[in-house]
Amino acid sequence: MILPRYDRRCGWYELLDSVSDHPVLTDDIDVDVLVIGAGFVGCAAARRMAENRPDDSVLLIDALKVGQGASGRNSGFVIDQPHKRDLESADETLKQKILRLNRVAVEYLETQIQRFDIDCQWSHAGKYQAAVGTRGIKHLDHYESLLKKGGETYHRLTRQEMQDVFGTDFYSAAIHTPGGALMQPAALMRGLADSMPSNVRVAERTAVSAITRTSKGFEVRTGKARIKCRQLILGTNIFTAELGYMADRILPIMTFASMTAPLSDEQMQRFGGRLDWGITPADHGGTTLRMTQDRRLIVRNSYRYAHDYNTPQAMIPMIAERHRAAFDARYPQLDDVAFEYTWGGASGLSANFETYFGELEHNVFASCCDQSVGAARGTISGMMLADMASGRKTELLQDMQRVSGNPSRLPPKPLLRVGVPLRLALERFRSRSEV
């Protein structure tokens, strides 16, 4: 069984001032609900389950420290707008359901942040989508047409506005949508885990080695303990396959990010832009760019088929060079700004771009194939998995079931290991003007 590993490279996690400790599970335990994976799905599911059934015991476990996994490695966007493929759907009702679900997730996260005073650089900064060349502008124009059709609020920036915000004249066009949020993902995940209801126990560095069905539910083995439970909720995304589910449905794709040292006062003057914004590329093969509240610029691009689930350390120098080239193209005036961290993080895709949500088998609930929009999607999925497991029949749950699908079967792994890298290389070549 392949387990997640932490490589001490993720800037978000390494910059945390202090990290609380939820001890490794060493005692055999009997609980009502076991939630495996303390990312966006798992944290939301554990909290919601505790809210739904306050007299039940809930155990939330993670193979790593909370915030070290995929949920703490993203670029810090909580996106309310549907993914572009969803926006292209002819079903307007479907798009409105996705919007509603995502916005409930944003509100739910914000409620916890405010209630428990979670310091995670949370802000309603919205999201920019930007283009560089002809290919990118074509994608951006199409995105604008979809926003218009859906009656969504947005603003197309002038060149001067782009310069004022981004501190660069690299981009040719950009659109701002106001609904989403930005945050420090590792800090958010730590805060969510540290503020669980009293009937939720959290155990870190507690990896699952086996799951066995029993007459009363399940027996789950970890390195040092056995857990008996009535219900299982899996917030394990790409690692769901290692637990025996969705093995031929989830395509693990890793993307990489680099984070600079904080800009000095003098470097900020040369930068000339604002703090606290994020750009996603109009062409999905382009570069994501963030400026944090603490003056750090983040560059994200490059993809690989993560057949081994974890970051190959031998790739890091090459990835850092790519990120440096993208950074220098945008900020030649900041050539003395160094990268402090470079890391990879994996998300789960599917061949037909469908997400999975539901009951895998009796009393085993899961959400996976997040299609690279895991913060909002994962949060609302975890909430609704808890509602489903609790027997709550709500309109939001009906909406979640309506917008979810059945990920199609993937080709055999030997073919994937050849075909996926070739496809990614082709997409990188096609999108080279946007990187």
DSSP letters for 341-383? EEEEEEEEE-TT---EEEEEETTEEEEE--TT-HHHHHHHHHH
Compute the distance between CA of residue 234 and CA of residue 35 in angstroms, rounded to an integer: 6
Q: Quick one: pLDDT at residue 370?
A: 85
Q: Quick one: pLDDT at residue 310?
A: 87
pLDDT of 84 > 70? The answer is no
Confidence of residue 92 (pLDDT cuts 50, 70, 90): confident
pLDDT of 90 > 80? The answer is no
Pair of tokens at residue 362:
């009796």
Give residue-wise pLDDT tens across range 224-249. Answer: 999 999 999 999 999 999 999 999 99
Mean pLDDT of 269-279: 98
Architecture of domain 11-73+186-248+352-408: 3-Layer(bba) Sandwich (3.50)
Region of poorest pLDDT, from 187-201, 219-233, 304-318, 376-390? 304-318
pTM here is 0.96
pLDDT of 163 > 90? The answer is yes
Give residue-wise pLDDT tens across range 390-431. Answer: 999 999 999 999 999 999 999 999 999 999 999 999 988 999
| Backbone phi and psi for residue 380, each to the nearest 5 degrees, phi listed first | -70, -30
Fold of 124-181+251-349+419-434: D-Amino Acid Oxidase; Chain A, domain 2 (3.30.9)
Compute the distance between CA of residue 165 and CA of residue 272 in angstroms, rounded to an integer: 8
Locate the domains of the chain by residue range. 11-73+186-248+352-408, 124-181+251-349+419-434
Give SS3 for 94. Answer: helix
